[in-house]
Structure 1
């Protein structure tokens, strides 16, 4: 009976709040964009305009979305009321832009939660989050396994089996260091004196650069051979010293590089996953199981893994992540007030917010243009790479 009464009151509230049907998703999106606009106005010294824009975000838009949300999650609504009030009061009292950006970041996160409540997660967003969680760890873990196998094979060829323990000690230390790096990064980012959006933007930008490099590195067999030769040279120096610690250090630095990249990618993916982060961890768990099988095949059974077949798939997924992170990075810079926003709401299809965050497909000219540019760079880079390989093949044929 109480639920029925609450529902009736909610419907009455919606009817009184605004004429006609209320598009809750549209009101939430508009509130989000007005919050970002108010920050840009405040930073430009237009304090009064910024205050009015922030007030409009709440009174003219978020309040229309409140009634249906109040039944589903009343705590979130109360939290949002306080945060919008903090933003307006901060502008009135002349607070530093960094403080207001933090408040705005909390508001945007809550708006995203509200959007998820209204639209539901569906199946696509969880699938994307799980795929991302799996692919990142599996790619980096596979690379680490192959590097370890190469080091162990070199030790076996030089009959230095007594130094094999150094490889395992170094790998274990690298895993521990990676876990510490994850927790340290999470903590430092949580207390950083900059807005959440700016942190997300910088993290995404760094991830894009590394992903772009990895994509083409995996495609270039020559670069992989040079990298393997460089690693063997380092291992050779460690073996010549006869020190277990030297071998452990080489292994540690080799594996920890993969671990550091993993931490960076997961930080960017965790921000994008948001309410479906649990599925990202499910992907991580599946990757751990898959890597356990790979390790058993390589180190227990002594068999080769068909990496030549796996790498093209991993390259494609890595490229897709780069495109998604570009979109998210540009959007984060927009939310931080560093880039302009040209909205395309109503002109292009709007995705579920979780799907948009995981694909980077946000309805603004700037985010979509950045993603198109990234795709073009990949296409041109791939074409140039293939042309160079064709020229090398011709030279070898003539020689």
Structure 2
């Protein structure tokens, strides 16, 4: 399944980039002995993400059927917000992320001096970076697993994480050069379509929970030509939230979401003005 693989690759690569930038800068400035503090923050962040994911999954299992549909709609809407925030945050921050992180490292050493305070500052930097990506991933994976039960989605997500770790290590070791601007732009465009499918599916879950009863007439019925049980239908459903007989409201939600987000994402990025001396 391409959607969980690509999104976890992107999420993992964002976290790996932050860790690699901090570790590389510490190594380049003769502070390699402090790299261990970064891994402590990474491990704490992974533990937090796993704890939150397990807690939400256990909470979902306790709900009655109708409440489960409402919970699934809420998770899908949170996942949509997280995905949109992730795409636009990286679009705006990609140019300055390295300089910002290196400045923060220097500030930690300047403010605290090499000591216990610096250790906690480095732990916090790596923890916040990885925890942000981890918690974002939790909501996305819960939403996608609810729509695509079975082992394929978890395995694809795990593959994306493993590839991102390898890429991050390659960047840190210095032997790998990626066109990150092109990668984040192409993956961001794809993720917006995934988010549109989740937004449409959230509307369907709200209807099944009895919370949405408007625009329910079928927009079309492709159950004979492109059913969800077919390979193509299953792939389209997993990637873009395809449904063989969507309601008018679901189609409008999908179209309006893309009409609002795509122009903002595709507009040219503002050119940074040179600082005056």
TM-score range for the pair, normalised by the shorter chain length: 0.7 to 0.9
Name the structure where helix makes up a greater proportion of residues: 1
Contact 2:90-2:184 within 8 A present in 1 as well? yes
1:345, distance to aligned residue in structure 2 (A): 4.2
Q: Verify: 1:336 aligned to 2:209, yes or no.
A: yes
Alpha-carbon displacement from aligned partner over 1:217-236 (angstroms, at most 9, x marks no partner): 3333xx33345444344333
Q: Verify: 1:198 aligned to 2:70, yes or no.
A: yes
Q: Verify: 1:246 aligned to 2:129, yes or no.
A: no
Structure 2 match to 1:170:
41
Q: Distance in 2 between matches of 1:216 and 1:180?
A: 27
TM-score (norm 1): 0.58
Q: Which moved more, 1:339-348 or 1:147-156?
A: 339-348
Bigger radius of gyration among the two: 1
Q: Verify: 1:349 aligned to 2:222, yes or no.
A: yes
4+ residue runs of structure 1 moved beyond 4 angstroms?
A: 226-230, 343-346
Contact 2:10-2:164 within 8 A present in 1 as well? no
1:205, distance to aligned residue in structure 2 (A): 1.0
Structure 1 match to 2:83:
211
Q: Distance in 2 between matches of 1:346 and 1:154?
A: 55
Structure 1 match to 2:252:
369
Give 1:181's match in structure 2, choosing from 38, 41, 52: 52
1:234–1:191: structure 2 CA closer, same or farther, 3 Å change rule? farther
5+ residue gaps in structure 1? Answer: 1-129
Alpha-carbon displacement from aligned partner over 1:166-211 (angstroms, at most 9, x marks no partner): 1122212222222222212211222257711111111111111121
Q: Distance in 2 between matches of 1:304 and 1:336?
A: 48
Q: Verify: 1:272 aligned to 2:147, yes or no.
A: yes
1:247, distance to aligned residue in structure 2 (A): 1.2
1:287–1:361: structure 2 CA closer, same or farther, 3 Å change rule? closer
Aligned with 2:202: secondary structure? helix
1:26-41 alignment runs, 5 A limit: none
1:1-399 alignment runs, 5 A limit: 130-192=1-63, 195-220=67-92, 223-240=93-110, 241=112, 242=114, 243=116, 244-274=119-149, 277-345=150-218, 347-350=220-223, 351-353=226-228, 355=234, 357-358=237-238, 359-362=240-243, 363-382=246-265, 385-386=267-268, 389=270, 392=271
Q: Distance in 1 between matches of 2:44 and 2:175?
A: 24
Contact 1:361-1:367 within 8 A present in 2 as well? no
Alpha-carbon displacement from aligned partner over 1:237-293 (angstroms, at most 9, x marks no partner): 33332232331222112111111111111011011113xx31112212322442343
1:357, distance to aligned residue in structure 2 (A): 4.8
Aligned with 1:352: secondary structure? coil
Contact 1:139-1:314 within 8 A present in 2 as well? yes
Alpha-carbon displacement from aligned partner over 1:90-135 (angstroms, at most 9, x marks no partner): xxxxxxxxxxxxxxxxxxxxxxxxxxxxxxxxxxxxxxxx112211
TM-score (norm 2): 0.82
Q: Distance in 1 between matches of 2:37 and 2:90?
A: 28
Contact 2:13-2:165 within 8 A present in 1 as well? no
1:320–1:227: structure 2 CA closer, same or farther, 3 Å change rule? same
1:310–1:226: structure 2 CA closer, same or farther, 3 Å change rule? closer
Contact 1:326-1:371 within 8 A present in 2 as well? yes
Q: Distance in 2 between matches of 1:291 and 1:361?
A: 27
Which structure's relative contact order is higher, taking Cα pairs within 8 Å and 6+ residues apart? 2
